[in-house]
Copies of this chain bind each other. A is one copy, B any other.
């Protein structure tokens, strides 16, 4: 009778262990593993079998696909509380995309079988997963549509605001990715991403110190993002 399940104190408990009995919880807690990753480490790899249900406890990761021309397309940046393996876990036996750390990260992993068993046995738990999954896929789709309807400047502005508003909640932040990855996210070339950034800098809208970005004229940037 292990009374000391550390999940009891996990800040994600409410999110994930919602609506399950203490027995069920104990069982999950015993089969779960925490993993630490450095920047650049793969958490999941495209086409590899899905074994764990993974969520991010801390850090930041990018979800991307490598298409058959060898190029990478980034589809999402996941932050803590996001379920990293949520998109294809229930429809495929292998990952449809790769997940890589862009900041030091910690994940909590539960064997996918355990989670599936629990879903089958507990509808309330299933409902929670459904809600979370719906949220994540909705976000991914919406973001891709938002990016798609903008031009180069609008897209770059959108990304900067995304990091400032949603990820770091601070107008000045250190970009966890390089220029090439910004390009892979917004579907433009590295050179043109740089050109847009330089323009913003010359116009006094942002300041650039290597990877550190400071948004000086927030409203102007917002306007450019809304297409100006």
Contacts and interface: CB of A to CB of B under 8 A. Distances in A.
Contact of A73 (B71, B96, B148): B148
A96 B122 CA distance: 28
Interface string A69-101: 101010100000000000111111000100000
Contacts of A134: 87-92, 133
Secondary structure call for the A interface: helix
A121 interface: yes
Nearest to A120: B123
Contacts of A141: 75, 87, 137, 140-141, 144
Interface residues on A, range: 35 or more
Interface stretch (A104-112, A124-132, A193-201): A124-132
A202 interface: no
B119 A121 contact: no
B123 A87 contact: no
A1 B14 CA distance: 42
Nearest to A132: B91
Given A144-B144, A187-B148, A127 B119 contact: yes
A145 B75 contact: yes
A127 B120 contact: yes
A91 B138 contact: yes
12 contacts: A65-B142, A67-B146, A67-B149, A69-B227, A71-B149, A75-B145, A87-B134, A87-B141, A92-B138, A119-B126, A123-B125, A137-B140
A132 B88 CA distance: 11
Contacts of A146: 67
A91 B126 contact: no
Contacts of A116: 127
Contact of A135 (B73, B91, B119, B187): B91
